[in-house]
Amino acid sequence: MRLSVIIPTKNEERWLPRLLESLKMQTIQPYEVIVADANSTDRTRAVAASFGARVVDGGMPSVGRNRGAQAAQGEMLLFLDADAVMRHPKFLEDNLRELAERHLLLATCYLEPDNQGFLGLIDRTLYAFYNQYAVSLERRWPHAVGSCIFVDRIMHERAKGFDEGLVFAEDMEYVRRVADVGCRFGILRAHPLFISMRRLDKEGRARLIVKYVYAEWHLFTQGPFREALPFSYEMGSYSEKEGCVDSLDARPPGKV
């Protein structure tokens, strides 16, 4: 089974090398790595090319993932965020083996914060709670974020990819819609993926937790976010130095 790794980017020259280096260190190599770039003004494209990745034009996260999937040739797709890193060299080998053994066509893995110290302890506690919460709902209500989504290519196409019209939680909506077309979902236990805490550092942990809890309630009771949000949320809005996927201030006029 050929694996295509798809990474949406914009101005990720700081973070992308870590991820691509960790991919190079894997005991099994993906068939291809596709970087869907949204007109970066830094060296993101050059960095991607230096690691042998194929670069295609991207856009907002959903757009980038869809464009990458359209260019992919693998039977299995793996969507990753540019600020993630695979610390274990058998991340791909063992997670793909578990995926096959459990007969899954849609999956994510445990997520771990990629930081240390006191804040790292707090973040590990938060993510331990999230991981267990997601596992408790694994068979009833799939949870996965764009940092790590394995999906069968045919199922991705059957679900018509990511909804490019959503302004928030498009990754959560995607996995539930793919599951609804008959795709068995699971959370892989083999190895976690480590992710940057840059959004939590920028927006503040308490504020971001409130937004995510609200998003969970809204998705469950009213469906996906197609209109402006009742709060300010910038999708991947980071400076060029920090790296970003793209910037979209979904705040409606008069809202904070």
Query: For 127-178, how does the pLDDT look when each residue is reduced to its tens digit (9 = 90+)?
Result: 999 999 999 999 888 999 999 999 999 999 999 999 998 877 899 999 999 9
Of residues 81, 83, 91, 108, the one with CA closest to residue 30: 91
Residue 13 in any domain: the answer is yes
Query: For 26-65, how does the pLDDT look when each residue is reduced to its tens digit (9 = 90+)?
Result: 999 999 999 999 999 999 999 999 999 999 999 989 999 9
Residue 65 in any domain: the answer is yes
Residue 56 in any domain: the answer is yes
Residue 237 in any domain: the answer is no
Global pTM? 0.88
Q: Which residue has the higher pLDDT, 255 or 155?
A: 155
Residue 88 has pLDDT above 60, yes or no: yes
Note down the domain range covering 79: 3-197
Residue 240 has pLDDT above 80, yes or no: no
Query: For 201-215, how does the pLDDT look when each residue is reduced to its tens digit (9 = 90+)?
Result: 888 888 878 888 888
Number of domains comprising the chain: 1
Of residues 112, 141, 142, 127, the one with CA closest to residue 208: 127
Residue 59 in any domain: the answer is yes
| CATH assignment at residue 34 | 3.90.550.10
Residue percentage of the chain with pLDDT more than 70: 89
Residue 124 in any domain: the answer is yes
Residue 116 has pLDDT above 50, yes or no: yes
pLDDT of residue 249: 32
Residue 76 in any domain: the answer is yes
In single-letter form, the type of residue at position 159 comes to A
pLDDT of residue 250: 33
Residue percentage of the chain with pLDDT more than 90: 68
Residue 106 in any domain: the answer is yes
Question: Exposed, middle or buried: residue 255 (CB in 10 Å: 0-12, 13-18, 19+)?
Answer: exposed
